């Protein structure tokens, strides 16, 4: 059905946008894991640990992660809504075929 193709197209666009967000970058994800593991340390100490591992600093990574929330949260809701719409369309098609 044409609606399912449109939903698939929107899902692909959302996936591409998702992969462009800074939160998806592997180095920032690794930085977050290090920050979580060393949450008892001060900012300077965490920055030193990150620098030793060759990861972006807390300040730079933190800014990138905060900027990501503006696109990340609506994108999550949009993808969830698309999945629900897809389920409804498929259910409607199944009922129609009966």
Residue-by-residue DSSP string for 1-20: -HHHHHHHHHHHHHHHHHHH
pLDDT one-digit tens code per residue, 46-95: 778 878 888 776 565 555 555 555 666 777 788 888 889 999 999 999 99
pLDDT one-digit tens code per residue, 3-33: 888 888 988 888 887 777 665 666 666 777 7
Residue 78's nearest CA partner among 28, 31, 16, 1 is 16
Q: What is the pTM of this model?
A: 0.49
d(CA 43, CA 67): 19
What is the 8-class DSSP label of residue 56?
-
């Amino acid at each position: 059905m044409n609606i399912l193709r449109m939903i698939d197209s929107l899902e692909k666009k959302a996936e591409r946008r998702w992969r462009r967000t800074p939160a998806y970058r592997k180095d920032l994800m690794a930085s977050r894991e290090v920050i979580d593991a060393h949450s008892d340390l001060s900012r300077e100490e965490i920055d030193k640990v990150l620098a030793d591992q060759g990861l972006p600093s807390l300040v730079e990574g933190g800014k990138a992660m905060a900027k990501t929330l503006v696109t990340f949260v609506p994108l999550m809701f949009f993808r969830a809504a698309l999945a629900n719409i897809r389920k409804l369309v498929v259910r409607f098609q199944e009922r129609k075929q009966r």
